[in-house]
Each structure stands twice: as structure tokens, then as C-alpha cells.
Amino acid sequence: MKFLAAVAALLLATAGPALAAAPTARPAAAKRIVLPTDVRPDRYDIRVKPDAAALTFTGAAIIDITVLRATDRIVLNAADLTFGKVSLSGQAAAPKVVLDDAQQTAAFVFPKAVAPGRYKLSIDYAGKIYQQASGLFALDYETADGAKRRALFTQFENSDARRFAPMWDEPGVKSVFSLTVLAPADQMAVSNMPAVTDLVATSDPDEVTQTSDAKTMFGENVKPGDRAVRFADSPKMSSYLLFLALGDFERIHKQVGKTDVGVVVRKGDAAKGQFALDAAEKLLGYYNTWFDTPYPLPKLDLIAGPGNSQFFGAMENWGAIFYFDYYLLIDPKLSTESDKQQVFVVVAHEMAHQWFGDLVTMAWWDDLWLNEGFASWMENKATDHFHPEWKIWLSTQEGQQGAMRLDSRAGSHPVIAEIPDVFAAATAFDAITYQKGQAVIRMLETYVGEDAFQAGVRSYIKQHAYGNAVSDDLWRALHAAAPAKNVAEVAHDFLLQPGVPLIKAEVAGDAVTLTQSRFGVDESQRAPQSWRTPVNVAGPQGQALAVVSAERPQTVKVGTPVVVNAGQTGYFRSAYAPALWSKLTPTFPTLSPADQLGLLYDSRALGEAGLAPMSDYLALAKTMPADADPVVLATLAGQLGAIDGFYNGQPGQAAYRSFARARLAPAATRLGWDAKPGEADNDAVTRSAVLNTLGDLHDPATVAEARKRFAAWIADESSLSGSVRAAVLSIAASNADAATWEALHAKAKASRDPTDRSRLYRYLGASADPVLADRALALALSGEMQPTDVPGLIAAVAQVFPDKAFDFAMANRGKIETFLEPTSRIVYFANLANASRDPAMLNKLETLKASVPASTRGELEKAQAVIRNRLAVIRGPLKDADRWLAANAG
């Protein structure tokens, strides 16, 4: 993490503390491990022949390059590739191939320097097909009639295109890609662009021309039944956006203007893709208008794949977006209302990337937020446009709060953080990049105004189309659209330094004074720091917008009671002086849902940090009306469940659970177990949240009803569907005995739907019985499960028994790493430890840190910070909660 600290002078005793200066510009980049820039790739012609059964492939790449400065070597990226013949046009001698496995590079070293000019670099090579989502990978599944199938897909972000072909695998190096694949004739091939040649080799003498043409592409190894598919040249793009899929697929599609929009699924699943196709049709028209730059490719496919990843659910490959099934397909028997909302949101996210990320790409991984933060914001804006009834801006607050929790602990990082190498880049895919990034964008849009913000973004897209950009390019475009707003200053404050501002409201006569400090979960994270923070304040006399910083408090007159961060569009915590809090809390039932959420989130955070009584949150929760907005009720259920996690093994848990159950009982009674005719989707989502939390709280009536319905489902699977099925299975699993566990296990083995099978296996890790947890861990490495499902089962155990799961993973680290994407393994192990309440875990993580590259240790430090914070809450604020509960039983 890079900070620009001010050189502080000695201050008088009566003065305030020294402030860390707010960043005024991006710091100079530290040394990065990147490829030499003396050679530029202009066009790749890549031909691959996969052997899916053997999990290998052969390839040939002809790369048009421009040598910009004389050099005796051409260095590019390559990982897990073996090389055959390598040649350069105009050079008689073959180069020496020098591999650097640690840096994942291949150097082609020539006897003498190659002069500047244009050349063709030809490379024959071979590679691996993986069984986790990196490079070219395989996903296995069974058809409805039990036949076994294998489909192939690619996943290249952030740095795995080098596993598919030798190339300049950095986001700032854009090139044209031509891709040709030799595959079985009965399989469909999908890539970024439409196919321009599709030849099936045959022994039929009347089709000799097709066979001859296929052999021209792939040599004499072509045999009857092979299919050679060449795709049109791509636009100029970054390597991580290249895509290929092969399998027993079918495609449904619609024409949207000049674009052929399709959903590609396994044969038999076409109906499940219709919802996503309808969503894509709407979204493409919306984005074309919003960006004022039409989608430039002739087609846009959304491709579904069975299986899982612990780190991503979809990938924005230009013109060929990949999704795991659960983010794209809707099955009326299995999918919930929450699933339906999730599919729409994720389709919106990945389609937004077609502009922010694909058409305009960040220059290096330190600006990853330009891709992910913007797409996370745009997914909400587009979803709210088409489905205002879902109230997406309310539900997205949960993700923002996760970012704020991370950002207020040790181990956080600026949104724009220096990324020294591609291994560190993998750790940037976190809540800071995504959720804090989108929160800051929303705050800036509110500050600048929607019209000016849109105008600035449109200008930015047009200026940098087919190229690369940095964050300051966006600020310049926004400044031109709204010159009076000092966008860059506010953006730099929030993106170039970590941390969360704390805005305190205090009475000042007939006005309210707003001051700023830094919110942190402990003293180590409360060092004085300053942000220029746009703050919306509302009261009975109207609203006011003030830009508050540590150096510049502001006073506003809107009357009392006052709501700070009205509408909850700002990225900061709000704290109220007791006199203001006592006036505000009685109005809680009548506040807008957004502001109700703001008070719940802030009072809990302040309480857990010891900056306010924990009883403030509990008293607020007690006033929650049973008919509150469904998103607010679902949030309350989630928070009450999270606090129960602090109480595990603590003497006050019974009293707390009695309180929490009482808070949720009115909503559970009103919503019931079964859907009502014409009810809103959000009611169904909230029903699941409330019932699941009551199940986690071991509410006797809820658990008994879930067990009754579970038994009926075991006898007749048609007795449950959708959200009710999900709630019943989740509650039964978390309260499982041996018989229930075995029944679930049998259902998991028998299921042929990849998404349902994965979920059933994860349920096996949810039991609170330590013996069953051990059985689940043993099952994970038994060979029974699909490879991509294995990490999910271990992670499910870690939610209940984190120390047991972490120890198991460390004891079997080599085996488990084979199921994980290479650049994300440390993130996975850190996440297993996150829920621990044992101080010994801190030392275990310290030991693990010593075995990993320095650039990835931040993930383990984040996990240590989570555990330290949990232990601090148990030692302190939880005792305050116990005292309040004893005095306010019921």
C-alpha cells in the first residue's frame, strides 16, 4: 500500500493531532515485474488441437510483431507450455529457448540482435488442460440419461492466457487475435467472434476439398470426423479477454439491432437460458444508449458451464461471456427468487464490462477498479432501471458494508494500490476493488449529478476506445463535464488511501456541526487522516450538501432530528452526539428504508468498535416494525445471525438468541413458509433470510418444521421447490444428525444437475456436529466429487469449524492446491481461517505467510486482522450487549 504522508511539524498542545495529508495525485509507480517493451505484438494467429480425454493440447502460434528497438531476444509470457520449433522470419538461425518458470516467461535468444522492423514469430508448442478454472480447462457433467460428458472452456484473467499460448499477457498490450480450433465434428466451438470457416474432415471423396483445407490448417494429423473452425479476427484487445469453448452445446439467440445475442448451454438446457437471454436483450439496448457508443462486435454470447470456482462466477470475455451455471440458468424447480435477481445482476455486470474493461481497458492491474468498480456500480444502475421493485440499491449496501469492514481493519489497501506483479494482481480482486470502488462511483455520481456524470463517462469511452486508460483519464473527462465540482480531489482522497471516514454530528445551537476523523475497529486504524467527503444531511427543514474534511468542519441548518448521509450514497460511517441520537431513534420506523439500513449498519459498526454502546444497535433492532421493507428485514436477519457468531461458546449466547428470535418472529409469522399468490420477489428473498437465520439460531419451531418438510422431500422430491426447498435443505443441513447427513449425501450422489449437485454437496459441510464435519472433509478428497466442487465443501466446513478445515487444508495442501486456480490459492486458504475464534490461528497464518510470495501475504494479513477484531469484540463490546440484554429481556 502506498501512502503520501505529510511531513508534520511539531504542534502546540492545544492543537489537533497531525493529519496524514490527503493525496493530491497518484504516487509514482514502484518497480514492476513486466515484459520488455522493445517488441510489440500486432496480431496472433493461434491454432489449437485439444485432446480432452488426455487433458492435453497442441498449438501453433504465428505472431506478427514489430521490433521497436534492436534486441537479441524476444521475451513473452508462457506457463506450463513445452516448446517445439520456434522461428523468426528473416532469421536463418533458430533461437535458443530460455524458460523462467518463476516469472512465467519464455525468452527466444538469437545469435545476434534483431533489427527494428516487422516480423513473423512462429512457435509450435503443447500445453495442459486443467480441471480448475485457469487456462484451458475441462468441466465434466452427466446428461439427464446418465451419459458422461466433458466440455472445455478458457479462463484467462488475470494472467492465465499464457497457459493457452505464448503471448504478451499484460492488460496494457493489446493485439488482434485470430483463433482456429480442431475439434470433434459433433461439438460446437465458441469464441469471441463468429466463425468464418467451419470444415469437417471426411473420407467422402465428394468432400475432399474440406478435408484438404483442414489439413492445410492442422497438418496430416487431421482425421475423418475432425472439425476445423476458424473465427473472425477480433478487435484489438487484451490477452485476458480471449475465449474458447468446446462442447455438446446448443444456442438460443435474438437479434438486437446489429448484434446477434445468444445464450450457449449444454444440450437440453435451452429453456433454462431464456431468462438470461431476455435480460441481455434489454441490457444491450440500455447500454448502447447509456454509453452513446454502440456495442461494436457482431455477436454477443453468454456461455454457461457446469461447476464452480471459489473466486469468480463469470468472466467478461469480449463477445463471449462465460458464466458458471448458477449465474446464468434458471430452473423453475430449483432456482429461487434470489437466484433470478442474481442472474440479472451478473448478466448486467459482465455486459457493462464490454465497455468498461473490454473496449477501454486499464493499463495495469493497479487500476483494476476501473473495470470492476464501474461494472459493480453499473450492474445496480441497470438493474434498478428494469426492476425497481427489487430495490437493488438497498440490497447492494450489504456488499458496501463488507468493504467498509475490511477497510477499517489492518491489512486493507487503497482502491488504486501498487501491483508489482501478476501474482499480487490476484489479491486485488476483493471487496475494496469491487464494492468500495462502486460505492465511490455512486458517491461521485450523486456529488456531480447524473447528467454530468454520464456525459463525462461517454467522453472517456470515446477518447480511449480500443485502448488503455488510467483513473486520471476518467477524472479529466468528469472534470470537463462538471468543472465546478473538483472531482479529482474527492476521488483521489477515497481511492489513493485506505480507510473509512467517520462523520460526527453534534449540536451547535440551532444548527448541526459535522466533523471528520477516521473510523477504525481499533486504535491502530484511527490515525488522523483526511478525506474531502460529500455529505448529504436531511432534517425537517430540508436537505443540505456539505463537503467535510478533517481540516474543514461544516455547519448545516436543517432542523432536528437529522439524518447524516441521507439516502446512504456516501462512503463513510456516521456517528451522532447523544442529544441527536436520542431524537433520531424514535423516528426509526418512519425513516426511508435506505436510512433505516444506514442506522443499523453504522450503530452496529460503532458498537463493535467500542466507539458507541453496543446497546444502541440492540435497542434499534428492537424497534424494527414487522412490516418493514423486506430488504431491511433481510438485513436485520443477517446481522443478528452474524452477531450470534461472536457468541459461539460464550455464556451469553442463550440470552442473545432469545432476543434475536423475538426480533424475527413477527416477520416469520407474517411471511410464513410458503409463497403467497402475487407476492413480491423481495418477500420470498426475505422469507429465506429470516428462516435461515432462525435455523442458525436453533429456533425449535423452525428446526422442527424444516425437519418435517425435509423428511417429506426425501420421500418425494416434488414436495419442495424454489426458495422453500433451499431454506428447508439449508436448515436441515445445519442441524443435521447422521441420518440426515446420509440422506443428503445420497441425494448429492444421485443428482445429475451440476448446480444442484454442487449445492447438495456443500450442505454436507454445514452441520454443527464435529463428527459430521470430519466426514465431510474426508469426502472432499475421496474422489467422489467433481474437482471444482471439492474446495466448496471444505469452505462450507470452515464456516462452522474454521480451525478444523484450515488444519485439514494445511495437512493436505498439495492435494487441495490441484483443485484451485494457481494465482488464487492463498486467498482460499486465508478465507478458510477467517471465521476462527482461536488466537492460535494467528500463529498458523504467520507460518503460512513464510511459505508464500511476499506480494500475496496481504491476504493472510487480512485474515489475521479479522480474527483479532473478532477476539476484541468478544472481550469488550459483547459484554456491553450482555448487560443490556439482561436489563431488556424479551
Q: Which three cell numbers stand for residue 763?
A: 450442505
DSSP category for residue 167: B
Instruction: Give whole-number Cα distances, 677 to 340, 388, 615, 664, in Å.
Output: 18, 20, 39, 23
Question: Residue 354 and residue 48: Cα distance in Å, rounded?
Answer: 26
Question: Which of 610, 673, 684 is CA-nearest to residue 873?
Answer: 610
Do 768 and 806 contact (CB within 8 A), yes or no?
no
Q: 431476455: which residue's cell?
A: 278
Question: Which of 219, 224, 191 is CA-nearest to residue 208?
Answer: 224
Which run of H or of E encompasses 564?
Answer: strand 563-564
- Of 157, 350, 379, 608, catalytic: 350
Angle between helices 614-622 and 593-608 (to 10 degrees): 150
Rg, the chain, Cα only: 28
Question: Residue 391 and residue 401: Cα distance in Å, rounded?
Answer: 17
Q: Are strands 174-184 and 39-51 parallel, antiparallel or unpaired?
A: parallel
Question: Residue 794 and residue 802: Cα distance in Å, rounded?
Answer: 9
Does the active-site annotation cover 350?
A: yes
Angle between helices 738-750 and 722-734 (to 10 degrees): 140
Do 395 and 500 contact (CB within 8 A), yes or no?
no
Question: Residue 321 and residue 354: Cα distance in Å, rounded?
Answer: 9
- Strands of the sheet with 542-548, listed across from one edge: 542-548, 533-539, 563-564
Do 97 and 107 contact (CB within 8 A), yes or no?
yes
Name the residue type at position 500.
V
- Please enumerate in sequence order all residues whose Cβ is within 8 A of that of 18, keeping only pairs 6 or more positions apart, or say none: 6, 8, 11, 528
What's the 3-state SS for 287-305?
HHHHHCCCCCCCEEEEEEE
HSE-CB at 621 with a 13 A cutoff on CA atoms is 31
Which run of H or of E encompasses 139?
Answer: strand 135-142
Q: Is the dihedral of CA 803, 808, 811, 814 positive or negative?
A: negative
Question: Residue 425 and residue 371: Cα distance in Å, rounded?
Answer: 13
Q: What are phi and psi of 16, to 5 degrees?
A: -80, 175
3-state class (DSSP) for residue 227: strand
3-state class (DSSP) for residue 451: helix
465-469 LR contacts (CB < 8 Å, sep 24+) = 465/293, 465/359, 465/360, 466/174, 466/235, 466/236, 466/237, 466/359, 467/174, 467/360, 467/361, 468/171, 468/172, 468/174, 468/360, 468/361, 468/362, 468/363, 469/360, 469/361, 469/362, 469/363, 469/367, 469/370
* DSSP letters spanning 11-28: --TTS-PPPBPPP-SPPP
Q: 444491450: which residue's cell?
A: 284
Question: Which of 97, 103, 83 is CA-nearest to residue 159?
Answer: 103
Q: Are strands 573-576 and 500-508 parallel, antiparallel or unpaired?
A: parallel
Do 725 and 334 contact (CB within 8 A), yes or no?
yes
Q: Which residues have a catalytic role annotated?
A: 350
